[in-house]
A and B are shown apart, each in its own frame.
Chain A
């Protein structure tokens, strides 16, 4: 039955209690998309919506889109979309930024798989190769540009990537396997098995194993500043395993149990542009229950991510091995949500979340655990003001209680008591969507996102040199303030006759209290600290504005085309942490921070694609243009000689050809960045990317 109409003035909780029930159903993406003739999602507000009704700048990348792109990994897929900055630092390490501010170990993007965070909480970044998901099992990738903290909490400040996998309860039993190889050290195999028993119980098992040959950076890097002295891996290696059981207990109740494990060795790029040999051993377990009740659609989710992460950078080479242990991080999250309608025009979501996040003392193991508990409450109100005008308002309150257990060695500048701290922050999203018929669809929204410091930024203890007389201490900073991102944007979607469909978005964004990575030189000296130390710092503010223009259409001869252009301009107002040092040539003033986005964010980016398809053949050609950038150097000597690193604009050309051998087997030949050649093109601070060619085989049984 539809719910009885209730007056909204009765109050949200009362209304929730009095509403008659709506039936629980996990969103059936395939059927819903066919029904409405467009993708559907619940990632923008928590409410099931057609893509056109979403009050945010959102891109939905379908499985079919994925199979058309000349890519093997998720960052590669994302780089073809407007507003996305993707940097491939090494074979294994890539970073994705939304609307600028990209950097190594980019902390501003929240990445989820079916709502479970897969970004790494100990340092707030995403190691993409660790994601326990195979491309073939993806239903769609939902990319939201702009802050979404009001729905997802901390760190969804530049955007969200929510990877939705296929629900085996909505799929037939089957087995998919895919193989890619370049016959030259880069190979990968992925397999997905789905078993559906009477639409009541379904199982999905997926596994992937791969290796990607590392570029020989030391020979190709053209300056005397050798960033890669610590290289030891000659390839990135990864294994991902995932097992999920889906339950349809009855018509109104669904459940999920899921376990994952990832095992990755790769060369990471750190924010100071040093590489590190990184080893990831990550596991997760999750249960989720959803039931339609007379009170609304209630869902509960409990998951735990645990990981052991070893990141050995060059500075460790002079550290005592006794004081180097892996980072052990455990995140436990419980979420409870009720989604319900009141009357015919209003949908509400009420939710609460508890999160415990613990990082054992590392790399120096002597200093107790850094941990916090977060209690959150949030609410969302979606109202259909008229059939063509819809408003959404969401607000969330997070209360973080930080602490450090145990004693801190007195060589560090802080004590355990410095961690007894509470952070309370409000985030919000408000939006309007107006469907003006043939004039198009107009969208306006404002949002406030909160990026809390990571546990490492709060509490890292890293000792270099003699433990009794350390040469320098790298330390967390329990006094760090969260970065606050405020975003305003306007969007306009419309059809340009039969020529093309257009999406246009304009945004303005400000970021307060940006954080910087550990500096190369000490920023704290005695008597401010017992020993020379460097620590994470807030370094000021920045603002950005930009636009995203997306066009796509059909052309004669069965051609489909797409073109998107991104303009973004960042204006930093950062505090320089300066120090004067005598290097034998007199005092020099150094700016000890690596943060700086004004020059490292490309102003212009263009992505273009052309597809042709007939019978069993499919061909696509792709172009990606990225404007010139300048990265901050590792240690900038203002009046000295160390220059910033200039990267010229580049154009990357790629292609993909597919042949459907029969109903079950597909062959592909892919060339990525084919114009880069074997010498490569320098695409970022560190890397000369080379051409990459591979063949792929996909089979479905």
Chain B
């Protein structure tokens, strides 16, 4: 019940770190991994997750890359990190399954959104602004409770769809 109550207290607050933008926590990462298993047609196995960062997000990307070193397992899915600096988005997203936007990019970036969509990549951010603007497919927060928001238009553009049960349990805009 404790978890249930914590989850029930979803609010709009963001996870603010010392930086002036939302940061991806390891708990967020675990949620991303499990969410990947609910993409339509998903099979168990490895997923390449691009960590897209700008200068402000370099440290965060390094930390996540270290946390995912050797593969980050979330049940049936193992996330393999790929560091992608902003300058290399066009090439860095090829073959990726998901992309996490970090640093100043967490609020969204039109260029990344377009490139990810054309590559069929699920874009994820811990900043709700990103999904609300349609520049991410998914934004999430894990504290104080789990909140997952998916932008249908962005998902459609990226040809990403989720299973029924998952779709009915998240916020869709």
Residues in A lying within 8 Å of B, measured CB to CB: 1-2, 5, 22-28, 30-32, 34-40, 42, 47-53, 59-60, 199, 251, 292, 297, 339, 341, 344-345, 347, 384, 387-388, 435, 437-438, 440-441, 493-495, 501-503, 550, 552-553
Are the C-beta atoms of A27 and B10 separated by less than 8 Å? no
**C-beta contact mask, B59-88 vs A, less than 8 Å → 1, else 0?**
000000000000000010000000000000
CB distance from B113 to the nearest CB of A (A): 17
The answer, among A35, A344, A441, for a CB contact under 8 Å with B173, is A344
Interchain CB contact under 8 A, B163 and A23: yes
Could you list 5 A-B pairs, sorted by A, with CB under 8 Å?
A25-B163, A36-B7, A48-B164, A251-B41, A552-B2
Tell me if A2 and B165 are in contact (CB < 8 A).
Answer: no
Q: Are B11 and A38 in contact (CB under 8 A)?
A: no
How far is B149's CA from A384's CA once the two chains are assembled, in angstroms?
A: 13
Is B156 touching A388 in the complex (CB atoms < 8 A)? no
Task: Tell whether, in the assembled complex, residue B152 and residue A5 are in contact, meaning their CB atoms are under 8 Å apart.
Answer: yes
Query: How many angstroms from the CA of A463 to the CA of B7 in the assembled complex?
Result: 59
**CB-based contact A39/B4 at 8 Å:** yes
Contact surface of B with A, Cβ cutoff 8 Å: 1-11, 30-31, 34-35, 37-38, 40-41, 44, 75, 142, 145-146, 150, 152, 155-156, 159, 161-169, 171-173
A344 CA to B162 CA in the complex, in Å? 13
Contact in complex: A31, B9 (CB < 8 Å): no
Indicate if the CB atoms of B155 and A2 lie closer than 8 Å.
Answer: yes
Q: Which of B4, B162, B173 has the most CB of A within 10 A?
A: B4
Whether A23 lies near B164 (C-beta < 8 A) is yes
Nearest residue (CB) in A for B5 is A501
- Among B6, B166, B168, B173, the one with the most A-chain Cβ atoms within 10 Å of its Cβ is B168
A50 and B1 within 8 A (CB)? no
CA distance A297 to B35 in the complex (A): 20
Q: Is the CB of A387 within 8 A of B171?
A: yes
CB distance from B34 to the nearest CB of A (A): 4
| Other A-B pairs beyond A1-B155, A35-B31, A493-B8, 4, CB < 8 Å | A27-B165, A30-B75, A35-B34, A60-B4
B7 contacts which chain A residues (CB < 8 A)? 36-38, 50-52
Output the nearest chain B residue to A47 by Cβ-Cβ distance. B168
Of the candidates B4, B10, B30, the one whose C-beta lies within 8 Å of that of A51 is B4
> Assuming the A-B contacts A34-B34, A35-B34, A388-B10, are A1 and B161 also in contact, with contact meaning beta carbons closer than 8 angstroms in the complex?
yes
Q: How far is the CB of A46 from chain B (nearest CB, A)?
A: 10
B168-A2 in contact (CB<8A):
no
**Complex: how many Å from CA A484 to CA B3?**
35
Cα(A445)–Cα(B56), bound, Å: 48
**Most interface-central of A31, A47, A440 (chain B CB within 10 A):** A31
> Is A384 in contact with B171, judged by CB distance below 8 angstroms?
yes
- The 3 A-B residue pairs with the shortest CB-CB distance, nearest first, are A52-B8, A22-B164, A344-B172
Q: Separation in Å of the A436 CB from the closest CB of chain B?
A: 9
Bound-complex Cα distance A60 to B7 (A):
15
User: Nearest Cβ distance between residue A247 and chain B, in whole angstroms?
Assistant: 17
CA gap between A325 and B40 in the complex, in Å: 55
Supposing A34-B34, A35-B35, A437-B11 touch, asked if A48 and B168 sit within 8 A by C-beta, the answer is yes
Q: How far is the CA of A292 from the CA of B163 in the complex (A)?
A: 9
A297 touches B5 (CB 8 A): no
Nearest B residue to A34 by beta-carbon distance?
B34
Contact A36 B9 (CB under 8 A): no
What A residues does B44 contact at CB under 8 A? Answer: 199
B40, B156, B165: the one within 8 Å of A28 (CB): B165
| B169 and A23 contact, CB distance less than 8 A | no
Contacts of B5 in A (CB 8 A): 52, 441, 493-495, 501-503
Chain B residues near A53 (CB-CB < 8 A): 8
Q: How far is the CA of A47 from the CA of B163 in the complex (A)?
A: 13
Q: How far is the CA of A553 from the CA of B3 in the complex (A)?
A: 11
Which of B2, B11, B41, B163 lies in contact with A438, CB distance below 8 A? B11
Give bound CA distance, A553 to B152, whole Å: 39
Chain A residues lying within 8 Å of B155, measured Cβ to Cβ, are 1-2
Q: A22-B164, A49-B169, A50-B169 are in contact. Are A37 and B37 (CB under 8 A)?
A: no
Check A2–B142 contact: CB distance below 8 A: no
A544 to B7, CA, bound (A): 32
Contact A32 B169 (CB under 8 A): yes
- Give the Cβ gap from B153 to chain A, nearest Cβ, in Å: 9
Which residue of chain A is the closest to B152 with respect to CB atoms? Answer: A2
Known contacts A23-B162, A37-B145: A503-B10 contact under CB 8 Å: no
